[in-house]
Amino acid sequence: MSHRENRLLVLVVLSLILGSPYLLMLPPGTGEDIPVVAYIENAEPEIIAVDILDSSMSPTSCVDPGSPYFVDIQARDNNTLADIASLEAVFYSPQSSFGDVDDEQHHYTFTWNTSGFHNPSGVGSLGSGCYGPNDPTLGTGTWRFEIELTKKALESTSWTLLVQIRDEANLSELPTTFEVTGFISLTIDASEITFSGSPSETVQSDQNPILLNYSTNQEGGISCYCTDFVGATDPNLVIPASNFMIDDDPDPFEDVETGRAVLTLSQSRQDICDPLEPGSGTRNAYVFITIPEPFLDQDYIGTFAFEMHS
Ligand SMILES: [Ca+2]
Ligand SMILES: [Ca+2]
Ligand SMILES: [Ca+2]
């Protein structure tokens, strides 16, 4: 862009009345015209404040992934907002940086330009609550982004929101630190399972495997513990937790074990799968019981508890 294009052009035409007695004879409004050109320098835009607001419009530094938030950006430009060309709001985790490509776990980009608000990569989402200044002749204004990070956004207290503003010639930026809160979710595709068999047999449950569906934005694991199983008719008889096994494949008696080793349950929490990366997925839990011998044939009732932990 040339030097002249970086300036506002104001053309002022002065009408000069000369002091000659002859000219005083001329009718009013006649004289010499002198064109005067005044240049107003471009002023650099400045970000005055960046505020993250929750759904009740309260300022916050903690962002829950998967929930909408507002980002208010107040900016000033002393040759007015008319030459503001674009804003960019980039959210990135401590494992990423400003210039990286967007991805749900680490990096989100939202922009404004004279055609409106944009989510150029489609990572995350923009809500309908976005707006910009409606009077470009003013020197300051506020842009509001309504944004949402996905549930894959990494749990961390050290995310950065870097806002950049550009006018016709200059760029200014302001960083803000915020937290993405952690979350864990685990669902099981069964509410009740049953085993049936004869004394001394090892049998699987009527539903095998149990599917453990998890979702988390941090590293985690899934553990299980189990109560003793108490006789429904004669509660003095119990099947201890140690008669139950969990495997990650359908066969608990392989010569060469597939995947993780078979786990004997207890009343203490034990991890039943390898550490989980942030994200979502499913793990299989194949469950078995070795029925004691001799043993009274009655129903025995107890509980398996599956838990997800960070
Ligand atoms: Ca400017
Ligand atoms: Ca196995
Ligand atoms: Ca296994």
The CATH code of the domain that includes 129 is 2.60.40.770
Are 9 and 56 part of one and the same domain?
no
Please write the tens of the pLDDT for every residue from 164-175.
999 999 999 999
State the pLDDT confidence band at 273, using cuts at 50, 70 and 90.
very high
Sequence-distant (6+) residues with CB within 8 A of 48 are 74, 75, 76, 140
Is the domain of 54 the same as that of 165?
yes
Can you give the CATH number for the domain in which 238 is found? Answer: 2.60.40
Sheet holding 125-126, edge to edge: 46-53, 68-76, 140-148, 125-126
Q: Which of 65-79, 121-135, 287-301 has the lowest mean pLDDT?
A: 287-301
Tens digit of pLDDT for each residue in 189-247?
Answer: 988 999 999 999 999 999 999 999 999 999 999 999 999 999 999 999 999 999 999 99
Listed residues: CB within 5 A of ion ligand 1: 42-43, 77, 79, 83, 167
How many angstroms does the Cα of residue 6 sit away from the middle of ligand 1? 9
Q: Please tell me the total count of domains within the chain.
A: 3
3-state secondary structure of 81: helix
Same domain, 30 and 74: no
Ligand 3: centre distance to CA 283 (Å): 12
For residue 114, the CA-to-ligand 3 centroid distance in Å is 58
Q: What's the confidence (pLDDT) of residue 179?
A: 98
Distance CA 61, CA 66 (A): 16
61 and 169 in a single domain? The answer is: yes
Supply the range of the domain harboring residue 299: 184-309
* CA angle (134 as vertex; 129, 135 as ends), nearest 5: 160
97 and 170 belong to one structural domain: yes
- According to the model, what pLDDT value does residue 28 have? 59
Report pLDDT for 162.
98
How far away, in angstroms, is 263 Cα from ligand 3 center? 9
Assess whether the previous peptide bond of 235 is cis (omega < 30° from 0): no
Distance (Å, rounded) from C-alpha 226 to C-alpha 205?
15
How far apart are the CA of 209 and the centre of ligand 3, in A?
A: 12
Give yes or no: residues 194 and 289 share one domain. Answer: yes
Domain limit, last residue, from 132, 149, 180: 180
Per-residue pLDDT averaged across 295-300, rounded? 90
- Are residues 104 and 175 located together in one domain of the fold? yes
Residue 204 alpha carbon to ligand 3 centre in Å? 14
Whether 190 and 294 map to the same domain: the answer is yes
The mean pLDDT of 35-61, rounded to a whole number, is: 92
- One domain for residues 14 and 65: no
Whether the predicted pLDDT of 10 surpasses 60:
no
| 283 Cα: distance to centroid of ligand 2 (angstroms) | 14
Phi, psi of 24 (to 5 degrees): -60, -20
User: What is the DSSP code string of 103-167?
Assistant: BTTTEEEEEEETTEEE-TT-SSEE-TT-B--S-TTSSEEEEEEEEE--TTSPPEEEEEEEEEEE-
Average pLDDT, the chain: 90
Q: What are the distances in angstroms from CA 205 to CA 77, 151, 194, 201, 304?
A: 70, 33, 6, 13, 12
Are residues 136 and 84 both part of a single domain?
yes
Of the three residues 180, 212, 228, the one that is the final residue of a domain is 180
pLDDT of residue 38: 74
| Residue 152 pLDDT level (bands cut at 50, 70, 90) | very high
| pLDDT tens, position by position, 66-111 | 999 999 999 999 999 999 999 999 999 999 999 999 999 999 999 9
Nearest to 10 by CA among 42, 41, 38, 43: 38
Calculate how far, in angstroms, residue 269's C-alpha sits from the geometric centre of ligand 3. Answer: 18
Q: Using the structure block, give the residue that is written with the tokens 């007695």.
A: 21
Task: State the pLDDT at residue 5.
Answer: 47
Ligand nearest to the CA of 139: 1
Shared domain for 192 and 264, answered yes or no, is yes
**Which of 154, 180, 206 is the last residue before a domain boundary?**
180
Q: Tell me how far the alpha carbon of residue 288 lies from the centroid of ligand 2, in angstroms.
A: 11
CA–centroid distance, residue 142 to ligand 1 (Å):
15
Would you call the peptide bond into 133 cis, given omega within 30 degrees of 0 as the criterion?
A: no
Dihedral angle, C-alpha 101, 130, 45, 123, nearest 10 °: 0
Tell me how far the alpha carbon of residue 172 lies from the centroid of ligand 1, in angstroms.
11
Tell me the two tokens of residue 249.
């494949």
Give yes or no for residue 11 having a pLDDT over 70. no
Q: 175 and 188 in one domain? A: no
Please name which ligand lies nearest the alpha carbon of 45: 1
How sure is the predictor about 29, in pLDDT bands with cuts at 50, 70 and 90? low
Average pLDDT value for residue range 237-259: 96
Q: Tally Cβ neighbours within 10 Å of residue 23.
A: 12
Q: Determine the distance separating the centroid of ligand 3 and the alpha carbon of 178, expressed in angstroms.
A: 41
CA of 245 to the centre of ligand 2 (A): 11
Which one of the ligands is nearest to 288 CA? 2
